[in-house]
Amino acid sequence: MDRITGTTVTFINVANRDRALAFYRDTLGLELRSSDPHGDFLELDGALMRLTAMADHKPGAHPVLGWNVEDISAAAASLRARGVTFTIYDGMGQDDLGIWSSPDGKTKVAWFNDPDGNVLSLSQA
């Protein structure tokens, strides 16, 4: 079987389209590619993200989107300066920025939510 080719698209459901678009575009800096009556497409470094409004949207407990970054401390500090609050989980041993380090220190992860409660993450490996 041949591999599926094309532009990768991830879908994020939100309850409030305008609020979500402002967050992803203005706070996270993603570029709006197009909009239609049902949602918005934003650029994700070679992939696309589709924001779709659903009035009954309920966020899950696990990340729906994440970024692997070169310097998680710098990325977290930059997002914090733009108003992003990182989630501190009891017993995880995260630092003041909300960054968790694996026991071997090689992997680091920080979690935050979009305005609709979807969990997003930064990681550094």
What is the domain-level CATH number for residue 120? 3.10.180.10
CA–CA gap between residue 103 and residue 119 (Å, rounded): 23
Q: Which helix (H) or strand (E) holds 22?
A: helix 17-22
Looking at the predicted structure, is the pLDDT value of residue 1 above 80? no
For 3-53, write each residue's pLDDT tens digit. Answer: 888 999 999 999 999 999 999 999 999 999 999 999 999 999 999 999 999
Q: In the β-sheet with 119-124, what is the strand arrangement from edge to edge?
A: 63-68, 119-124, 108-113, 100-101
Domain containing 52: what range? 9-124
Residue 4 pLDDT: 87
* 3 occurs within a structural domain: no
* 98 occurs within a structural domain: yes
* 1 occurs within a structural domain: no
Cβ contact 41:33 at 8 Å = yes
* 20 occurs within a structural domain: yes
Q: Domain count of the chain?
A: 1
* 2 occurs within a structural domain: no
- Rounded to two decimals, the pTM is 0.92
